[in-house]
Structure 1
């Protein structure tokens, strides 16, 4: 149970600090029992306690920075770790050169070789969408209310204009019931789910992707050559 401290008031920052301390102690006990050979952090406040305890326990530790401007956690951890993997050359100025390795953003094997990892979307769905224009909508693993509302509004107008795409829509758990009810009301075909387990299958079927502009997502879209409409998270630090 840990939370970030940026953008918080004083009371929230104090609470977040104590959560970081508690999480660090918990991580220490877990890692002493688990005895990992390597610790890898990928940024974000959740990586901080684990990588810090890895360093204290003298476990080889590395971090991977997915963005061009490093986050605060990776900047703090950089002097402690053995290796810093970066995705963009622009990140070099923020880290000590002797530790750097320009790796790019890793892409999951199943995305590049979908035939090796058969998709979980049902064959009946495949047959339904074979001759249709398919739009994949996702607002991140937690969904995004603003994207959900905007897409439904756009679909309503597309239907009025006589264009009926098939939509694979990841809503997030909070909006799932509301969004699936709206699809039924509109009479629009779609595979609506709170969370997509098999992204390779979803990407393979998509003709257009509407999503957040996360670094990993952009790397996947670029590798697959998928047309996309990117909606940046408006409250991102950088």
Structure 2
């Protein structure tokens, strides 16, 4: 019996890359089939084909909490997306479906439940969104990336797996990794990652304190985001490498000593796996402020530092300066954040998919 899976996850890299990680692992199984469902005009429509998978787009969007008038068409979009999911499921006849979050996950998982198809949802955050909380009523299994989300779901359905990671092949030595971005292996290196789309506020802070960083004799590997590239590319010099997007995160983590990052669940999982001392600046522009809650869970475990955007004018530089200068602090944070690592997350989720595909539950 072949393994036939439909996966939905998108909107941001935090939903897309775990979905792709699962799909890549499924691809290792002979005769397996994987199809994606995403939201039209969202980043999954380009990233998924780039990873080698087919994707169908839905006319769907999230609930707009800032401008309620923009939700007028939402009921129609939901009905239209449900109908399309029914058709796609009926045509492709999957053994099981997977939702990793994002606008398109809801219609897919709900449709599968109505059609008697087993489903698994994967929640990345410490504080889950409304969609996954709703879908947990219909899904067979809820795979958690963060154990602190357990109280938001039916406990009998929960399995703590960790988040699937986008492992990229990294055959470079550390010296070659430094050379590939034009940085020195002899300086403390700060990796700046503002999420898959980049962060306006983090970019502003880095530019403002650039001279201060240079005074500390450090170098920056700065992912600014595609929409900010033109604005900041002139800041590039021998101690500052600027790029809109990082394709090989393994290499980036390999050469970094300190990280400045948003607090998306995927970033946290990667930073935990690579044991990186991190200053988190959570995005305030996310549903239910889940990034701040993600970061707070680490801060409470002495596993990271956090500065909120609204206090970054006063706190960013003192916090990052201490992290740069305090070797013992870096070692402590590195050790503690590693306790949140789940290196077998992808394998465990794929094993669950096999189980439900072959009716072994």
Whether TM-score is above 0.5 comes out as: yes
- What band does the TM-score fall into relative to the shorter chain? 0.7 to 0.9
More helix by share: 2
| Matches for 1:74-223 after TM superposition, within 5 Å | 74-110=132-168, 117-118=170-171, 124-125=179-180, 128-159=183-214, 161=215, 163-181=216-234, 183-184=235-236, 187=237, 189-223=239-273
User: What RMSD, in angstroms, separates the aligned Cα atoms of the two structures?
Assistant: 2.5
Question: Following TM superposition, by how much is the alpha carbon of 1:225 offset from its aligned partner in structure 2, in angstroms?
Answer: 1.3
Structure 1: how far apart are the matches of 2:200 and 2:147? 34
Structure 1: how far apart are the matches of 2:96 and 2:208? 47
Structure 1: how far apart are the matches of 2:177 and 2:163? 30
**TM-score normalised to the size of structure 2?**
0.57
Runs of 5+ in structure 1 lacking a partner?
Answer: 111-115
Structure 2: how far apart are the matches of 1:173 and 1:43? 23
- Return closer, same or farther for 1:166/1:158 CA change in 2, 3 Å cut-off: closer
Q: Determine the structure 2 residue equivalent to 1:113.
A: none
- Return closer, same or farther for 1:82/1:124 CA change in 2, 3 Å cut-off: same
Question: Following TM superposition, by how much is the alpha carbon of 1:6 offset from its aligned partner in structure 2, in angstroms?
Answer: 4.6
SS at match of 1:175: helix
Question: Following TM superposition, by how much is the alpha carbon of 1:146 offset from its aligned partner in structure 2, in angstroms?
Answer: 0.9
Question: Following TM superposition, by how much is the alpha carbon of 1:123 offset from its aligned partner in structure 2, in angstroms?
Answer: 6.6
Instruction: Please state if 1:57 is matched with 2:115.
Output: yes
Q: After superposition, give the CA deviation of every residue in 1:182-207 in whole Å (9 maximum; x if it has no partner).
A: x14xx453332211111111111111
Runs of 5+ in structure 2 lacking a partner?
Answer: 1-39, 41-59, 290-361
Structure 2: how far apart are the matches of 1:52 and 1:100? 18
Question: Following TM superposition, by how much is the alpha carbon of 1:78 offset from its aligned partner in structure 2, in angstroms?
Answer: 0.8
Structure 1: how far apart are the matches of 2:255 and 2:96? 36
Does the 8 Å contact 1:5/1:17 carry over to 2?
no
Question: Following TM superposition, by how much is the alpha carbon of 1:76 offset from its aligned partner in structure 2, in angstroms?
Answer: 1.1
The number of equivalent residue pairs is 228
* Deviation larger for 30-39 or 191-200: 30-39
Does the 8 Å contact 2:177/2:251 carry over to 1?
no
Structure 1: how far apart are the matches of 2:182 and 2:193? 22
Question: Which of 86, 91, 96 is 1:28 aligned to?
Answer: 86
Does the 8 Å contact 2:183/2:241 carry over to 1?
no
SS at match of 2:137: coil
- Return closer, same or farther for 1:34/1:205 CA change in 2, 3 Å cut-off: farther
**TM-score normalised to the size of structure 1?**
0.84
